Amino acid sequence: MDVICRRKGDRTIKKWYRVQKLKAIFVLALAIVFTNAVVSYSNTVKLIHNQEWVTSSYEVITQVESIQSTLKDTETAQRNYLITVDADDLKTYIAAYQQTNRNIQTLSKLTADNHQKQQWISLLEPKITSRLDILQQEIYLRQNQGFEAVKKRILSDKNNQSSKEIQQLIHDSLEVEQNLLHQGMQQSQANSQKAVVTFFIAAIVDLVLVALLYDLLWHYIRQLQQTELALRQSENRLRAMIDAEPECIKLIAKDGTLLEINAEGLAMMEVESADVLIGKPIDAVIVPEYRAAFANFHKSICQGNKGTLEFEIVGFKGTRRYMESHAVPLRNESDGTFIHLALMRDITQQKQAKQKIREQGLLLDVSTEGIIVRNIHNQILFWNQGAERLYGWKAEEVVGKNVLQLLYKDISPQLEDAYLKAINTGEWRGELHQLTKEGRVIIVESRWILIRDDNGQPKSILSVNTEITQQKQLEAQLLRSQRLESIGTLAGGIVHDLNNILSPILMSVQLLQKKLPDSQSQQILQTLENNVKRGANLLKQVLSFARGIEGKRTIVQIQPLMAEMEQIIAQTFPKSIICQVDIPKNLWYVRGDTTQLHQVLINLVVNARDAMPNGGILRIAAENLVIGEHSAQINIDAKVGSYVAIVVTDTGMGMSSEVQQRIFEPFFTTKEVGKGTGLGLSTALGIIKNHGGFVNVCSQVGRGTQFTVYLPASTFRDTHLMSPELESVTGNG
């Protein structure tokens, strides 16, 4: 691209230098022609001026000579008349006399602009006039006094002196004028030679200039011819390329008429010749509902903007096509305006395919199941709205991402087997544990189907996932309830047998205490009695769990129980454990056994304490809660109604999912030997169920545990059953 730009720049510079060179030579030629014209004009003016001056001088000489000649003729005719008294001589004299006057007048006109000559004429003319007067007087004297009188006058010195002065003036004038004429002719000859030399020099310069211009013009014409040939070849190549283009290319004038179109465009318009379309409005083939949009689009392009537009056309044979036009403005160098250059693509099939995909997408989005399509590299290609609802991610957030990194903590062998089976057999079914956007683990029933390309190679995998987390939880709760029920039945039988074993032992110990009064025996027997009683209490606790022993039920207020728990924690728990208690004032009442509920809370807070050996935060809260149909389906023990929820939360070590599944089993404990019996939570669960409630557990390893106890709320109209302790608190006697 840089090379092309540099070549284009070099061509532009060369073209600029060529134009500047032509301009300089043209200016030089104009200067030379102008100079030649000025010199020629100057020489011509000088020649004309010299020629006029010579002509004028020649005419002056001619007139002076004519005056001299006619004056002589006048004198000759006058002398002949004086001698012969011939009338013809008199006529000749009169004609010469008149001619002399005319010559003097003519000479005066010729020298009107010459002051020196006018002075000369002013000297000559009186003398000639005087001479002519003398001649006239002599004729008069001859006619009246005779020849002798005239002869005497002629011979006088005065008359001869006048004639000599006239002749001398004429002679001097002729000599001066002839000298001037000679000089003028020499000057004219010199100017002529100079003009000839200048003409030849100018002619040579002009010939050289013409030759130079001819050479330049010849080269320029050759370049123009080569450029024209190159442009023609380029145009032919461009036309061939445009016609070979599989898209429609159009050139549209500002007024909306078609200027150019390629072969593919003709095929789309369903015509054989461009003449049918050239010069016609382009919007004639556009479907009416798209014409306004196309007009605005065309106006924007002609204002110098780029753009893209989709519209529909109807060919001359009635075929409807959806077109996508990518247009750019093309500057018209003649007037600086823009015309519309468009590349239009037939997108009918894409439109139909998109419509079909959109319809299929709508069908997929209607599905409540999560439908995911991924390629063989596990990149997500499709993510329906069911998947958005199931996992929490929007489609634009996950498309292109790796599905394994998104939905799974790690790659389990089950997942690898599922992938291999889908690739090898084309499908797989099974259950998977997956993650949501919030990090919650869900269980889905997944069905994988392998999709192959046209060559039969694996292309992508379609997954349909149905969440069965609640179903699995309900199944686990049901199995746990059944297991606890079986364990309770078994424990009840064992308790009876153990009670039968412990009763004789206790009776024997008490009998021995009476028969062996020494202190050592008493100490041993007391230890034995204490251990037997501890065993009996343990069996009583097991029996309470197994059969759900019922105590006295009254209306119980939770606030005093929680306040007592707070006091016990403050007095007995390590100072490294911070207790936070949230007791609402408007908390509902529950109907139950205060002692048993106290036992439940004690078990929960003690377990929380043991989970935080290095200290932490223990939070006890309660709230009023109404459970609806949906929430009741989540837990098998839950029923629709009002509940008081007691929440005990710690920031301790937490529990794994395997431990959580067994915490309510009798005798199951994670504590060291001697620090727990494993009956605390199982007994608490038995008490909660006997009160018609249920419990939920949420725990993460390293992040703590939360127990939520749900106890059915009681209405205040049962206050006649309220315990005396509660009556003292509420003030109702």
Whole-angstrom Cα Rg for the chain:
69
Q: Which residues pair with 464 in a beta bridge?
A: 371, 447
Q: What is the pLDDT of residue 547?
A: 54
Give dist(CA 170, CA 66) in Å, integer: 10
Give dist(CA 162, CA 366) in Å, integer: 149
Contacts of 560 (CB under 8 A, 6+ apart): 725, 726, 729
Closest CA to 483 of 617, 663, 621: 663
Contacts of 380 (CB under 8 A, 6+ apart): 372, 373, 374, 398, 399, 400, 401, 402, 403, 406
Judged against a pLDDT cut of 80, whether residue 563 lies above it is answered with: yes
Q: What is the pLDDT of residue 486?
A: 63
Are 443 and 465 contacting, i.e. CB atoms less than 8 angstroms apart? no
**Tokens 């529909």 correspond to what residue?**
312
pLDDT band at 733 (very low <50, low <70, confident <90, very high): very low
Picking from 147-161, 166-180, 403-417, which range would have the lowest pLDDT averaged per residue?
147-161
Q: Over range 440-453, report the average pLDDT.
A: 89
Task: Report the run of H or E that residue 564 belongs to, with start and end.
Answer: helix 558-572
Highest mean pLDDT, choosing among 218-222, 362-366, 634-638: 218-222
Are 711 and 643 contacting, i.e. CB atoms less than 8 angstroms apart? yes
User: pLDDT tens-digit profile of 323-337?
Assistant: 999 999 988 777 778
> What percentage of residues in the chain have a pLDDT greater than 90?
11
pLDDT band at 622 (very low <50, low <70, confident <90, very high): very high
Judged against a pLDDT cut of 50, whether residue 522 lies above it is answered with: yes
Q: What is the pLDDT of residue 618?
A: 93
What number of other Cβ atoms are within 10 A of residue 615's Cβ? 14
CA 277 from centroid of its chain's CA atoms? 34
| Cα 667–Cα 671–Cα 672 angle in degrees, nearest 5 | 105
- Tell me which DSSP letter residue 439 carries: S
Judged against a pLDDT cut of 70, whether residue 490 lies above it is answered with: no
Strand pairing report for 616-627 and 577-582: parallel
Give dist(CA 563, CA 566) in Å, integer: 5
User: pLDDT tens-digit profile of 664-706?
Assistant: 777 677 776 555 566 778 778 888 888 889 998 999 988 999 9
CA 385 from centroid of its chain's CA atoms? 31
SS3 244: helix
Q: What is the dihedral of CA 719, 723, 729, 733, to 10 degrees?
A: 60
Q: What is the pLDDT of residue 1?
A: 42
Q: Over range 454-466, report the average pLDDT.
A: 88
Give dist(CA 290, CA 602) in Å, integer: 77
Give dist(CA 543, CA 550) in Å, integer: 11
Q: What is the pLDDT of residue 720?
A: 43
User: pLDDT tens-digit profile of 586-603?
Assistant: 899 998 888 788 888 888
Give dist(CA 449, CA 465) in Å, integer: 12
Q: Over range 469-489, report the average pLDDT.
A: 66
Q: What is the pLDDT of residue 191?
A: 74
Q: How many CA atoms lie within 13 A of 260 on its CB side?
A: 14
SS3 577: strand
Q: What is the pLDDT of residue 336?
A: 78
User: pLDDT tens-digit profile of 1-16?
Assistant: 444 445 545 556 666 7
The average confidence (pLDDT) of the chain is: 79
Q: What is the pLDDT of residue 718?
A: 47
Q: Higher-confidence residue: 673 or 489?
A: 489
Highest mean pLDDT, choosing among 125-139, 445-459, 468-482: 445-459
> What percentage of residues in the chain have a pLDDT greater than 70?
82
Q: What is the pLDDT of residue 56?
A: 72
